[in-house]
């Protein structure tokens, strides 16, 4: 009996070892390196920490100031395998490390600007292009924030195919905003649904200058009056 028990224990251990080896052999993870922004692509976020933007609403005779408080860039894993319901990937398989960058103007809840950019995901058919997300929040509780998602290549923006609710409304070779002439400006429409609530629904954006103005569905508009950029 003792010998038989010992044999069963040894067989069990061998089976466990064999299963573990088989499980490990099924998972081959290959790091294909990094996908990074080019120097030209980085210019889509033309701000640095401590930069300040002052917008004016001439009809209401009011000013609002935003100060850049945070900026960082890092890498995240982009795997050929989809995550499970908890967001975990048991085996990465082939994968890249893709760059993302975030810039925030944040002083209090609902008063913010954020700009987020992510490089393309090589294995994902939905995210084959660089992604650019912009948000603008106005202080107080009466105006809902802007949120928009777009694609970009170097010095140009375009509609992202899989996010139809935000779009580029117009493009201007030249336009005067707040008594100043700007070149290559996009009028971006954000993600929003018809509502009786006031919401920021459009912003003027220049790749070289950043946010030049924003407006709501109640015809309130703020234009860039001053921009303080660190030397």
pLDDT for the residue numbered 73: 95
User: What average pLDDT does the structure give for the chain?
Assistant: 86
- Where residue 6 falls among pLDDT bands split at 50, 70, 90? very low
| Cβ neighbours of residue 108 closer than 8 Å, sequence gap 6 or more | 139
Stretch 91-108: mean pLDDT, rounded? 93
**Domains of the chain: which residue ranges?**
2-228
pLDDT in tens, 131-172: 999 999 999 888 999 999 999 988 899 998 777 778 999 999
pLDDT in tens, 20-68: 333 455 889 999 999 999 999 999 999 999 999 999 999 989 999 999 9
CB atoms within 10 A of CB 126: 10
d(CA 167, CA 172): 15
pLDDT for the residue numbered 104: 97
């Amino acid at each position: 009996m003792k010998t038989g028990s010992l044999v069963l224990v040894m067989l069990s251990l061998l089976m466990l070892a064999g299963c573990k080896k088989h499980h490990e052999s099924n998972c081959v993870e290959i790091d294909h390196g990094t996908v990074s922004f080019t120097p030209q692509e980085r210019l889509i976020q033309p701000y640095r920490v401590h930069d300040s933007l002052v917008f004016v609403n001439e009809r209401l005779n009011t000013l609002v100031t935003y100060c850049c408080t945070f900026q960082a860039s890092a890498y995240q894993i982009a795997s050929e395998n989809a995550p499970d319901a908890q967001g975990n990937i048991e085996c990465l398989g082939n994968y890249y490390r893709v760059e993302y960058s975030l810039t925030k103007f944040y002083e209090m809840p609902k008063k913010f600007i954020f700009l987020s950019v992510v490089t393309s995901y090589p294995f994902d058919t939905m995210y084959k292009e660089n992604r650019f997300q912009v948000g603008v929040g106005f202080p107080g509780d009466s105006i809902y924030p802007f949120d928009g998602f777009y694609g970009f290549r170097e010095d140009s923006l375009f509609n992202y195919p899989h996010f139809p609710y935000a779009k580029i409304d117009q493009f201007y070779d030249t336009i005067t905003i707040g008594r100043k002439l700007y070149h290559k400006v996009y009028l971006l429409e954000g993600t929003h649904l018809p509502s009786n609530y006031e919401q920021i629904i459009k912003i003027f954006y220049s790749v070289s200058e950043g946010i030049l103005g924003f407006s709501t569905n109640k015809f309130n508009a703020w234009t860039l009056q001053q921009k303080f950029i660190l030397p």
